[in-house]
Amino acid sequence: MSLYLLGINHRTAPVELREHLAFDPATLPATLNGLAALPGVLEAAILSTCNRTELYAAIDASPDVIRRWLIDKTPAGTDLVPCLYELDRENVVAHTCRVACGLDSAVLGEPQILGQMKEAYRLAQAQGTAGPYLHRLFQHTFSVAKKVRTQTAIGESYVSAASATVELARQVFSGFDKRTAMFIGAGEMIELTLKHMHSQNLGQAIIANRSLDRAHSLAARHGALVIGLDQIESQLHNADLVISCTASPERILEHSQVRDALHRRRRKPIMLMDLAVPRDIAPEVADLPDAYLYTVDDLRQVVMENQAARVKAAEEAAGMIEIYTGEFSRREDALEAVPLIRSFRSQTTAVRDQALAQAQRQIAAGKPIDEVLERLADTITKRLLHEPSTQLREAGEQGDRELLKVASRLFGIGKDA
């Protein structure tokens, strides 16, 4: 059995392709069970975010079936293969640690991915698709991420995707105090972005969400107006800025809706930021005059401008990950030897018990104890050395120097011998 990872992320594929593999949270349990049911897949977990979709598995056969399963999730004719990356064994461990520490994120060092990874593991546990291999992988990963966060500056003054969104908006608006922002969705990304904008003295916030209870809970903390998704069209013309991040598999804003809102605004511009994967806002909106549409990929430029201070911390974190990956691999290798050690001990114990029983019978029959003990020691020695001696003799006759070297190391016999 070995660890295997298959993925696609913001570095290997544009949002147009990633959105086809962004699994709907509502159907993710069934999707995970489908992955775990594939031939040769013994354990499985799925990490699905706006920037990446990664399949983690413990397998005992070829991973081709997993690759084909993922490719079948994309529309016909989509060439997914060049965008995929595959890792195995210790490479899975190193990559998983890098992801958890935020070293592979669009925003270097961002902390949200760790929570998303923990949620992916919790789901795998709940569905019964995570076993001992993935348990050791994720527990090791979470431990390393904690050490990296506390022992380096990777998490200090971090620039999250939410704060990067606000930074991008600041490049368009000189201030937010006289602006109205519409937030579509009420998840973690929307909450963080609203929090950042509220701290920048946002004039008015409108939260549009399918679940009004969730939206009211969020609005109460920031003095926002709450509307249902069916009211977006009637309120859209009031928004200078629209930030959308839902898990909807269907579009939230269509070209015609934004066009009509701009008409009502008398061509006063609207900035729209689509942070969802799949996208919430029709891409054609970007073609409208006075509509400025950005996606998650557009955050990269803002992020790159804030990376310099984190480079040193990232290098320190990478060094720590390399060390801890080596420790993990050594522990895994040691675990592979456990069944062999148990079998060897069981075999030698059986030899001992058999010889001891024979000796006890001889003593009971009246034979001299010294003679019985000498025979006992001789019997145990011969039985334990018989098979190794036979194998070493054959190795010598066949010129198997590798086995002879291993035996020398195993039995602690020096080169002179």
Give me the tens of pLDDT residue by residue for the chain, a chain 417 residues long: 799 999 999 999 999 889 889 999 999 999 999 999 999 999 999 999 989 999 999 999 999 999 999 999 888 667 888 999 999 999 999 999 999 999 998 878 888 899 999 999 999 999 999 999 999 999 999 999 999 999 988 876 546 678 788 888 888 888 899 999 999 999 988 998 998 898 889 999 999 999 999 899 899 988 899 999 999 999 999 999 999 999 899 999 999 999 999 999 997 999 999 999 899 999 999 999 999 999 988 877 766 666 666 778 888 899 999 999 988 988 887 777 777 778 888 888 888 898 899 889 999 988 899 988 998 888 888 888 888 888 888 888 888 888 888 888 888 876 555
Q: How many residues does the chain have?
A: 417
Q: Name every residue whose Cβ is closer than 8 Å to that of residue 371 and which is 6 or more positions away in sequence.
A: none
Per-position DSSP letters for 80-149, written without gaps between them: -GGG-EEEETHHHHHHHHHHHTTTTSSSTT-SHHHHHHHHHHHHHHHHT---HHHHHHHHHHHHHHHHHH
Residues 344, 352: Cα–Cα separation, whole Å: 12
Q: Which residue has the tokens 């109460």?
A: 220
Stated as kind and residue range, the H or E segment containing 22 is none
CATH classification number, 2-158, choose in 3.30.460.30, 3.40.720.10, 3.40.50.720, 3.30.43.10: 3.30.460.30
Other Cβ atoms less than 10 A from the Cβ of 10: the count is: 20
The yes-or-no answer on residue 50 being catalytic is: yes
Among 273, 274, 268, 272, residue whose Cα is nearest residue 290: 268
Sign of CA dihedral 183, 189, 191, 195: negative
Q: Which residue has the tokens 């298959």?
A: 6
Q: What is the CATH number of domain 161-304?
A: 3.40.50.720
For position 162, what pLDDT does the model report? 80
Residues 219, 212: Cα–Cα separation, whole Å: 10
Strand partners, 54: 7, 47
Q: Which of 50, 97, 101, 245 is catalytic?
A: 50
Q: What does pTM read for this prediction? A: 0.63
Are 19 and 278 a contacting pair, CB within 8 Å? yes
Question: What are the structural domain ranges in the chain?
Answer: 2-158, 161-304, 338-406
Among 252, 290, 307, residue whose Cα is nearest residue 274: 252
Residues 318, 158: Cα–Cα separation, whole Å: 17
Residues 80, 73: Cα–Cα separation, whole Å: 10
For position 304, what pLDDT does the model report? 67
> N- to C-terminal Cα distance for the chain?
38
Are 169 and 271 a contacting pair, CB within 8 Å? yes
Mark residue 330 as left, alpha or beta (left: phi above 0; alpha: psi -120 to 50; beta: remaining): alpha
Amino acid at 223: G
